[in-house]
Amino acid sequence: MAKTSLKINQADMRKLQTQIDHAVDNATEDTFEFFKKKTPKKSGNARRNTKYKERSTNAQILGDYDYSGVLDAGRSKQAPKGMTKPSLQELRKQVARNFRKI
């Protein structure tokens, strides 16, 4: 039986962690822009009140208007699939694309 080992120094681990953090940040920010573009625009209220909130380990896209659930359920001709499902697919693409660069 053959055995192998891999040693990674701390500097390389920090650099890799920084690259991973940037890849995730870029993917979430790009997904927010995608979500906002998918949000139907009639008066502009829905897009204007769609917010991106980021905490240390958590990022959220918030529809801060009363009818956000209705729009996300697909009740608009402009976004018949809603915004969340297409945005999650976009997030997966963004993460894969950004991780390929690492």
The answer to whether residue 75 sits within a structural domain is yes
Domain count, the chain: 1
The answer to whether residue 23 sits within a structural domain is no
Q: Do β-strands 50-55 and 58-63 pair in parallel, antiparallel, or remain unpaired? A: antiparallel
pLDDT by residue, tens only, the chain of 102 residues: 788 888 889 999 999 999 999 999 999 999 999 999 999 999 999 999 999 998 877 889 999 999 999 999 999 999 999 999 999 999 999 999 988 988
DSSP code at position 67: T
Q: What is the pLDDT of residue 57?
A: 79
The answer to whether residue 69 sits within a structural domain is yes
The answer to whether residue 86 sits within a structural domain is yes
Q: What is the pLDDT of residue 72?
A: 94
The answer to whether residue 100 sits within a structural domain is yes
Domain carrying residue 90: 64-102
Q: What is the pLDDT of residue 70?
A: 94
The answer to whether residue 7 sits within a structural domain is no
Distances (CA, A) of 19 to 7, 34, 74, 77, 94: 19, 22, 36, 39, 14
Q: What is the pLDDT of residue 5?
A: 85
Q: What is the pLDDT of residue 75?
A: 92
